[in-house]
Amino acid sequence: MTQGTRQHTPPAYVGMSLPRQDGPDKVTGRTRYAGDQVVAGMLYARLGLSPYAHARILHIDTSAAQAMPGVVAVFTATTLGMAQASSLSRVQSPLARQEVLWCGHPVAVVVGETEALAEDGADAVEVDYEPLPAAIEPEVAARPGAPPARVYQEVAANEEGPLAGFPQATAVAAEEGSSNVKQFQPMMLGNVEEGLRQAEVVVEGTYRTHPVHQSYLEPQSVTVAPSPSGHHLVVWSSTQGLFSVRSAVATALAMSEQQIRVEPVPIGGGFGGKESLLEPLAAAVATRLRRPIRLVYTRQDELLAGNPAPQMAITVKLGAKRDGTLTAIQVRMLLDAGAYPNPLAALSGFHFFGVYRCPNIAVRCDVVETNKPGTGAYRAPSGPQTAFALESTVQDLCQQLAVDPLQFRRINALKEGDPNMMRGRWPRIGLLECLEQIQQHPLWVQREQVKQDVPPELVGWKIGVGAAVGGWQGGTEPAAALCRLERDGTMTVVVGSVDVSGSDTAMALIAAEELSLPAAAIHVTHDSTDAMPYSGLCAGSKTTYTVGAAVQAAARDARSQLFAIAAEMLEASMEDMELSDGRVRVKGVPEKYVTLQQIAANTMRFGAPYEPVFGRGRSAKRVSSPTFAAHLAKVAVDPETGEVRVLDYVAAQDVGRAINPAEVEGQIHGGVVQGIGWALFEEMVYDESGQALTATLMDYALPLGKDAPTITPLLVEVPSELGPFGARGVGEPPVVPVAAAIANAIKDAVGVRMTHLPMTPERVLAALIARKEESL
């Protein structure tokens, strides 16, 4: 995209493209990628992105782009005409209208016969900008007199998404502070000031993080095919929630949800970042042109215009008695939402109520808008940031009290029956059991000896061992499932969830257990939103807990139908039936049975006497099942360069019941590696004008294979009272304590408290130099 600006235009980005897989397509001329399907008449869309973090749009000239061979159409916010184009929702108003709000804000969408032609067309769109002052750093943007991140105030979006029920922040009055700041109602328990007065030791720390991208393997992508009339749309999307995409598209186009059909597709990771982002935009373009449209982000698009985890600044003050009893937890948070409200910000404060038993807690969360991409969810939203702050301060408090850090945590850890923030009581939880597991592990028991065991290649480095805990409240959402008997005696389970983390295997195992069948006899499938049973967003560690419960109920219903038919066929009582090895037999009379194939034959043919076996299951969990993790990290620190290496890692987690132990352990492995990214590598960086300095993977550092240590998962099974067979969610907790455990291990190794994520060699070395200078 070219710009006719009143000021100097920033330099163009260095582009990145996906690797070639199958070569040029003979029909479309575009580069094909593994998994692509050629759709007749397919067009390809590319976005024209703003090079400014904040600027007024004076004029957009699309004539040069439209005149290019192979360019089919160019749309702006004005010409595309989406139903909610003036809303404050990025999903509903994806193209900049009067001003651009971050470096990478889409200004136009160009449609071409190939991706390359669409890209060339996007480069040819000319935009006249008037640069405006940008609000970049959250602490600066929150000060009185800071430049506003948004000049033109939009209206709230009229949409009902999966997060619509969360509390909303209220704007700060102009005379009280910056117009960029909104505040949530403080969360309070007891009297924190009184708790601090009662404390015999008080410790305080301030911590800072950066935005972090979810870094899924497959980028954001969507294909939309309209019907010839344009009155119906079929959507194939890389999303974690099929029904949420349907709702978002229907709202954007002012259509009935029944006019939108979303088809399930395997997706290459999401980690909370793939609820709905590009789908309404692609659907709007497809509707206007009445042609199939495919829109796929490049990796650079992801880093410029994704929805990363938010940057945060957190101050934690803890008070305790000399015997190690907590008396007060006081927290002040500043959450950088980027250019749009963050609906998950309200969750941040709950993390400080969800680990330790303390009579006096006060948490204040301010949300500041800046000229950076709008933020979204990333595995355990706000969990890694808040745990880093809380657990680092807890470790320093233990040092002041001269108490064992794991013993302190056991003294204050939440347990069943303790009061919670919702004026109820904590259910059965496994935090104490997790702490016991790592307290007994050799890495902790022999930590002083471990610290002396320096690998030969790291002579001169310092070794440290650190611990941290964290948890996740768990999620709830209604779900339904179906279970159908097939002619060959196998069962088909139909769910509305997305198999984003191997959850289909868990569904198969739940049904197999309920039906006393081998897992190979269960086929899990996904229909489109036209026919599949409802399921919410596959996020929040709730898929197995909610959809799994519906599958269990559907399998149980199917079993009851099997028993009723078999009882009549065998002339026996339904109560005397049992199912084993694909046969329904009379208890105590194993030779008296009918096979599932026989039952199917009597329910699925012309003139059959029995109704087809078609189990239905529903769940609506009103209470979540919280889950916790306790971690140990062994690190080596080079005092000469500040480099940190994680050498060994132990992760104990309460999983309730491990439906698929290998899959659960895989979740823990992945969460720990992502946590190492939070701790040591990943950060989205912007200069003072808002230019992205980490817009490619050459600059945005991710952990590599060599950075992953030996990870030992310890599965703690404290069954949930409500989960299927006692299962709890497992996806969120593994990432939560990691950065804190590594920070505490660095403190143990070299004696410096790291307060800024990621803990890069430069930051660690600076802390070591500062400590040395203070000691002089």
Q: What token pair was written down for 345?
A: 């910000």
- Dmax over CA atoms of the chain, in Å, equals 95
Q: DSSP letter for 438, please.
A: H
pLDDT 10s digits, 56-74: 999 999 999 999 999 999 9
Other Cβ atoms less than 10 A from the Cβ of 763: the count is: 18
Active centre residues (catalytic): 732
pLDDT value at position 39?
61
Residue 775 pLDDT exceeds 90: no
The DSSP bridge partners found for residue 512 are none
Average pLDDT over residues 359-388: 97
Average pLDDT over residues 170-175: 55
- Contact at 8 Å (CB) between 339 and 150? yes
Q: Between residues 45 and 26, which one has the greater pLDDT?
A: 45
Among 11-20, 242-251, 541-550, 626-635, where is mean pLDDT lowest?
11-20
Average pLDDT over residues 192-210: 98
Task: Please state whether 414 falls in left (phi above 0), alpha (psi between -120 and 50) or beta.
Answer: beta
Q: DSSP letter for 185, please.
A: P
Strands (E), 423-562: 462-472, 479-485, 491-495, 522-526
Residue 645 pLDDT exceeds 60: yes
Reported as a pLDDT band with limits 50, 70 and 90, residue 2 is: low
pLDDT 10s digits, 256-307: 999 999 999 989 999 999 999 999 999 999 999 999 999 999 999 999 999 9
Average pLDDT over residues 490-494: 98
By CB atoms closer than 10 A (0-12, 13-18, 19+), residue 323 is exposed
pLDDT value at position 156?
58
pLDDT value at position 155?
62
| 174 closest CA partner among 153, 201, 157 | 153
3-state DSSP call for residue 60? strand
Residue 3 pLDDT exceeds 80: no
| 433 closest CA partner among 753, 661, 748, 652 | 652
Q: What token pair was written down for 172?
A: 């700060």
| Chain CA centroid to CA 73, Å | 34
Q: What token pair was written down for 273?
A: 């970042």
Rounded (10°) angle between helices 279-289 and 242-253:
50
Among 26-30, 104-108, 662-666, where is mean pLDDT lowest?
26-30
Helix boundaries (H) for 8-109: 63-66, 77-80
Computed over every residue of the chain, the mean pLDDT equals 92
pLDDT 10s digits, 451-483: 999 999 999 999 999 999 999 999 999 999 999
Reported as a pLDDT band with limits 50, 70 and 90, residue 5 is: very low
pLDDT value at position 535?
96
Other Cβ atoms less than 10 A from the Cβ of 155: the count is: 11
Phi, psi of 258 (to 5 degrees): -70, -15
Reported as a pLDDT band with limits 50, 70 and 90, residue 166 is: low
pLDDT value at position 161?
55
Q: Tell me if the bond preceding 758 is cis, omega within 30° of 0.
A: yes
Average pLDDT over residues 155-178: 58
Identity of the residue numbered 212: V
For the chain, the helix, strand and coil percentages under 3-state DSSP, each to the nearest 5: 30, 25, 45
Reported as a pLDDT band with limits 50, 70 and 90, residue 33 is: very low
Residue 509 pLDDT exceeds 90: yes
- DSSP states along 500-538: SSSHHHHHHHHHHHHHT--GGGEEEEE--TTTSPP---S
pLDDT 10s digits, 228-263: 888 999 999 999 999 999 999 999 999 999 999 999
Residue 35 pLDDT exceeds 60: no
pLDDT value at position 86?
79
Helix boundaries (H) for 174-220: 192-198
Q: What percent of the chain has pLDDT over 90?
A: 87
pLDDT 10s digits, 672-728: 999 999 999 999 999 999 999 999 999 999 999 999 999 999 999 999 999 999 999
How far, in Å, CA of 245 to CA of 262, rounded? 7
Strands (E), 339-385: 361-369
Average pLDDT over residues 343-349: 84
Residue 644 pLDDT exceeds 90: yes
Reported as a pLDDT band with limits 50, 70 and 90, residue 170 is: low
pLDDT 10s digits, 105-131: 999 999 999 999 999 999 999 999 999
| 741 closest CA partner among 386, 395, 448, 414 | 395
How far, in Å, CA of 293 to CA of 312, rounded? 37
Average pLDDT over residues 547-551: 98
Other Cβ atoms less than 10 A from the Cβ of 42: the count is: 20
Residue 405 pLDDT exceeds 70: yes
Place of tokens 């069954």: 719
